Chain A
């Protein structure tokens, strides 16, 4: 892997000596990758709490059988918006934020390739989400047909419908611009000597993710546009009455949707591949195979979409194809997990908060992978499909998977970004509460699904009571322990022990050659990579 010589002057370069502008206009007009990274990360944190509050409404209603707190229609709005907010508002922007902060510093570039576009792609997001959340107050309420927007149900949405579609278009445009920017940065702005196979894995996984984004976000845009014309302009893409087919929507949606799943997990793989070697004080095992595994996962993601719809009644050959293709994903994913374990093997490990989150990621993501493998088995999926087993599965890969990796990244790079060490004790407390909370929350949901509880229901039969109660307790524990994270982040931004430039003993990569915090403009002259 790459090592940099300290040729860069830590002080701000002479021909770019202006610092940040003052006041609000700094944030509104900024084209600085660090500022935009910060904006993305803070926005994502806000969305994480909004989406989390929705999840707590869901879990509170499900604490006991019977309808206690919300009306079933509002419950459906909560499940729908929880998903949209968490996917498009929390997880994706968090990774884009990390990309903004880190990619230029990791490849030795002065900034992102297209700084003005960077500003637009961020500032679309607050508008998109204000629009999306405002639909809750519209006549007929917000979207309640699930985030998958299946017609004909989604066409029963009230006056919120066109606004939801518009919000999705805006999020899509933002993601596409972000992805273009990332690809241009990685391919055009690498410092001399930084060959592709010397790039840190976080850069690699983001490069592949960005290609996935520009391949599938336009497909999502296309299909939601078809929904719009079906509803308002008399087309019948998805209505059997006019010769269309509602199942076709599912095919097109999941053609986007499955790569989307990997869009949310590949950068997480990158983060974990940065953190584990640091705290094992040993180089990443199988760097090249990590890159190839990521690329194969990305490729496979385009040919497995119909495993989300095994029960729609496909011909036998179709079911078999999608079953085999889906099972294949286990191979590159397994390679990654084995590589992480081998990186730890015979290292000299310490367990600071980022490492704790990374280890929890490896274990809990793998559990999510196991249930994914079970779900890939089409005949068994006829039982699992649309039950809490699926809910448990994708939450295991998304919460202790994607979200834990984001938290690991936050703790790992926060000292670099702010120049202050976070509170380690508080970080560990946050970790242990989160890891216990998340398991109490989602593990019982496996049992619920196997015992026959469908997902997306506001009320349930009596035999599901105990596990739902346990799950709800876990949800509140997990939810409220995130306040420690919030507090810790705020305290670290405001002050705290001074962080060294190296921060972590075993950390390697260009970003650690910069001061903590790095100057407003970095690498205005490219570093030399040996």
Chain B
């Protein structure tokens, strides 16, 4: 009697917790899931993520289903008499082999996606991304265009002295501009500590390590503005060095690049990596 009430209460409590989570998700414009993104790779990653997720859900439903059935029916309060079996070679072999097969089923598409992610051949544009405490520098290697990209959210908003804007903490003074439909190679490195460059819509993040260079590529399919953040703890203002990528159609991109080249020859300071770096570029 008492135990049945408890099991019942458990169900209610769990249900309440879940429905709380879901109802919060329902009315705000909330994202519950990974973005599908705007590159072929990010789509692959999304589908891989969903595949594994659903496999886990199915396994979970089966295992927990068996368990709850057992909890409901095999209770002492219902007069259950304990069986005494304690092994069965057949089921034990089965539940070793079946998960193996499922894992192989997961590993195949995962390997394919990974191989495609590593294929940075034939990129048409190379950009070096350098992480600093606490901002990013973008360097269009072939065009001599180089600039810093720093958080542009005013201190007053962070300090709760002004209402927060729509892109609070995800806005910068100079976004990284990329052409749509072109394969772009991105080289990441850092000038002080390890950072990690991450835009969820592109489908990956890559660490930026001082003294070392990492390469990764992307090919954006849709013009737009995509936002991300530094993903590796890098000191006090780790949470305040966002990334904004502005993807422009090829022609507009070229135009922008020409303009930047002109600007950078007139103001060399922008082009110079010595541009004064105040530690903690923005003081909080």
Instruction: Please report A residues at the B interface, Cβ cutoff 8 Å.
Output: 65-68, 71-73, 76, 144-146, 150, 152-153, 156, 239-241, 245-247, 280-289, 311-313, 316, 319-320, 323-324, 327-328, 330-331, 334-335, 337-338, 341-351, 356, 359, 362-363, 366-367, 370, 373-374, 377-380, 382-383, 385-387, 428, 432, 435-436, 439-440, 443-444, 447, 450-452, 454-463, 466-467, 470
Contacts and interface: CB of A to CB of B under 8 A. Distances in A.
B200 A452 contact: yes
A268 to B, nearest CB: 18
Contacts of B20: 440, 470
B34 A324 contact: no
B7 to A, nearest CB: 7
Interface string B55-80: 01001100110110011001111001
Contacts of A150: 193-194, 232-233
29 contacts: A65-B168, A71-B236, A76-B236, A145-B233, A150-B232, A152-B192, A156-B193, A282-B82, A285-B86, A289-B87, A316-B115, A327-B103, A331-B103, A334-B99, A344-B67, A345-B83, A346-B70, A346-B83, A347-B80, A370-B60, A373-B106, A374-B49, A379-B44, A380-B110, A435-B10, A436-B16, A450-B33, A462-B168, A470-B21
B156 to A, nearest CB: 10
Contact of B110 (A348, A378, A467): A378
B164 interface: yes
Interface residues of B, number: 107
B93 to A, nearest CB: 10
A382 B197 CA distance: 11
Given A156-B193, A239-B211, A289-B92, 13 more contacts: A65-B164, A66-B158, A240-B209, A311-B207, A312-B207, A341-B67, A363-B64, A366-B60, A383-B205, A435-B13, A436-B16, A456-B238, A461-B169
B31 A338 contact: no
A461 B30 CA distance: 12
B227 to A, nearest CB: 8
A312 B231 contact: no
B52 A246 contact: no
B267 interface: no
List of 7 A-B pairs having minimum Cβ-Cβ separation, nearest first: A240-B211, A457-B239, A313-B214, A382-B204, A370-B56, A451-B31, A346-B83
B144 interface: no
A379 B114 contact: yes
Contacts of B238: 72, 76, 456-457
A450 B34 contact: yes
B212 A341 contact: no
Interface of B: 3, 6-7, 9-10, 13-14, 16-18, 20-21, 24-25, 28-35, 44-45, 48-49, 52-53, 56, 59-60, 63-64, 66-67, 70-71, 74-77, 80-87, 91-92, 95-96, 99-100, 103, 106-107, 110-111, 113-115, 117-118, 157-160, 164, 166-170, 192-194, 196, 198, 200, 203-207, 209-212, 214-215, 227-240, 284
Given A66-B158, A76-B236, A459-B158, A313 B207 contact: yes
B99 A452 contact: no
A335 B83 contact: no
Contacts of B44: 379
Contacts of A313: 206-207, 209, 212, 214-215
B210 to A, nearest CB: 6
B45 A380 contact: yes
Contacts of B214: 312-313
A466 to B, nearest CB: 5
Contacts of A347: 70, 74, 80, 82-83
A386 B196 CA distance: 9
B12 to A, nearest CB: 10
A341 B75 contact: no
B164 A66 contact: yes
Given A72-B284, A156-B235, A241 B28 contact: no
Contact of B118 (A153, A316, A373): A316
B248 to A, nearest CB: 22
Nearest to A456: B233
Given A76-B238, A439-B14, A459 B45 contact: no
B159 A66 contact: yes
* Residue picked from A245, A246, A460, most chain B C-beta under 10 Å: A246
A455 B3 CA distance: 40
A343 B92 CA distance: 13
B107 A153 contact: no
B240 A459 contact: yes
Given A323-B107, A378-B110, A386 B76 contact: no
Nearest to A244: B211
A439 B18 CA distance: 9
A81 B86 CA distance: 44
Contacts of B159: 66-67
Contacts of B157: 66
A152 B210 contact: yes
B212 to A, nearest CB: 6
Nearest to B4: A351
A72 to B, nearest CB: 5
Given A66-B160, A331-B99, A432-B13, A341 B84 contact: no
Contacts of B71: 344, 349, 359
Contact of A382 (B33, B117, B284): B117
Contacts of B235: 76, 144-145, 153, 156
B48 A379 contact: yes
A323 B228 CA distance: 25
Given A153-B193, A344-B74, A461 B86 contact: no
A144 B233 CA distance: 9
A348 B204 CA distance: 50
A426 to B, nearest CB: 14
Contacts of A145: 233, 235
Given A65-B164, A66-B164, A338-B63, A385 B231 contact: yes
Nearest to A333: B99
A447 to B, nearest CB: 5
A455 B168 CA distance: 17
Contacts of A451: 30-35
A330 B14 contact: no
A523 B52 CA distance: 51
Contact of B87 (A146, A240, A286, A377): A286
A444 B237 CA distance: 25
B30 to A, nearest CB: 6
Contact of B32 (A71, A146, A362, A450): A450
B30 A378 contact: no
A346 B82 contact: yes
* Residue picked from A153, A288, A330, most chain B C-beta under 10 Å: A153
Contacts of A146: 233
Nearest to B215: A313
Contacts of B193: 150, 152-153, 156
A288 B88 CA distance: 11
Nearest to B206: A311
A348 B192 CA distance: 61
A240 B9 CA distance: 58
A463 to B, nearest CB: 7
Contacts of B207: 311-313
B203 A383 contact: yes
